[in-house]
Amino acid sequence: MRVGIMGSHYHSSLLSQLLKEAGIESEEILISRNVKGFFSKVKTKDIIHIIYSHLDAFTWLLCILFLKLLRKKVIMHWIGSDVYSALTERKSKVLTLAFSSLADTHLASAPWLIKELKMLGIEAAWLPLVPTLNIAVNPLPEKFRALIYLPETKYNFYNGPLMEKLARDFPSINFFVVGNETSRNDRSNIQFLGHVKNMEEVYKETSVLVRIPRHDGLSLMVLEALASGRHVIYNHKFPNCFYAKTYQDACEALDQIMKNESINLEGVEYIKKKLWKKANFRKNRLHLL
């Protein structure tokens, strides 16, 4: 079985490695105006596995129509932003429903995406796309610190005002902010770290990750924090995380974690045993047939 992977380069590379470990031949195929070159690669593949990228929905519709004319089986793997666009933008929804109806199989990288896709009339199975995570459990830092991902370009999408309110209402907690070098205030308990290459050092110096965006796929930061033995406050229901849909939920979770500060060993075990079992492509080959 030969698989062609199209879409997000990061996720394509990740999927290619996972398929290789499962003994499945694959190749990343870029969508280009060179129809002859594109056709020469596609025609040799049995299955085309599509993962979202920032191509517009109309381009995907034309691409998948072309693939179906070649009688190729098509897998759509939804990762988060693609579902969000279909749910919030009318044009994207119409085109997404058009090209998704042509796919043979739908997969989702997070369990809650399955429910959202069902709202669009799309039936999907959960198959996470996760890299090999480094299980490195270090002692908790002497001072309680919270970690936040808050990119400047998506400040409101990642709930920046709520995060700043947490910092204001919990002055005893130091907040480390990654993905952002620009401070919007001069609070002494907020430290902006910018773009960090070695996140292991950051997890080592923090006690909890707080992540409450408008929408999310299966966040790599959540998985890394769990693999590091850190607690996670998340606005999606995920194993060994504190569920926080509202600001009050987040406050209560922070209070509980601070009062019973400990390493999240259950989260580490989940990453080591259950998540890898779910993500094992050899055991899930039936989705690719």
Per-domain boundaries in the chain: 2-127, 145-273
Model's pTM, two decimal places? 0.88
Kindly give the parts of the chain with pLDDT less than 70: 32-33, 53-55, 182-186, 276-289
**What phi and psi, each to the nearest 5 degrees, are found at residue 210?**
-110, 120
**What's domain 145-273's architecture?**
3-Layer(aba) Sandwich (3.40)
As a whole number of angstroms, the distance between CA 87 and CA 65 comes to: 22
Long-range contacts: 274-277, Cβ < 8 Å, 24+? 274/239, 275/128, 275/130, 275/223
Share of the chain above pLDDT 90, in %: 56
Predicted confidence (pLDDT) per residue in 248-283, tens digit:
999 999 999 999 999 999 999 999 888 866 666 555
Query: What's domain 2-127's superfamily in CATH?
Result: Glycogen Phosphorylase B; (3.40.50.2000)
N-terminal to C-terminal alpha carbon distance within the chain: 9
